Amino acid sequence: MFAKEDTVLSPDNIYGKSILPDIVTSRDIVKRRRISLDAFDQQDEKLQQAYVYWQSKRRGGLLPAREDIDIVDLRPLIGKIHLVDVSSGDPAQFHFRVFGSSVRESISNVFRNQLVGECTSQALKQSVIEDYTSVIFTGVSSYHQIVALIEYVKYSYSRLVLPLADDGRRVTLLMVCINKREFSDLAI
């Protein structure tokens, strides 16, 4: 793509304002695979412990509420947990209330105190919306292995998404647990 003839180009605006963001975000790649909750990888033992803990907080088949979760009980994952407010029902309005402090800073800057819809990486935004929406609609946790290339930076991690519901039924918050790791068979 080329800038229009009447567009003034500068070092900050090489291809024109409307073209540069599309070119940059079109290079982003997110590869993920969903893994059965019965098949946690040995390297994701802490995620499995979080899942078992979350299961123990369910009463009568209902989803646990935020008040049921004591962060002290999840000590091994402190700094690797995000809390995402999904009460609006609109995926673009999902809001990261807490973003784990141990998660790589450059990716945390993509989402910290932001709405999912404000993510500048289209590939990342699309994958997050798909995965989070699936958990919200089904009320079933999800476990993924993910490799992403965002703004030329590689990320590789496992992710567990746990639904929380104030009334036990309607998901209002997601607890997202991250474990940084490499996958030899999932490459970018």
Residue 173 has pLDDT above 90, yes or no: yes
Domain range 31-180, CATH architecture: 2-Layer Sandwich (3.30)
| Sole residue written with tokens 């079109």 | 26
With beta carbons less than 8 A apart as the criterion, state whether 165 and 141 touch: no
Residue 3 has pLDDT above 80, yes or no: no
**Secondary structure of 108-126 as H, E, C letters:** HHHHCCCEHHHCCCHHHHH
pTM value > 0.85: no
**Which of 75-79, 99-103, 120-124 has the weakest average pLDDT?**
99-103
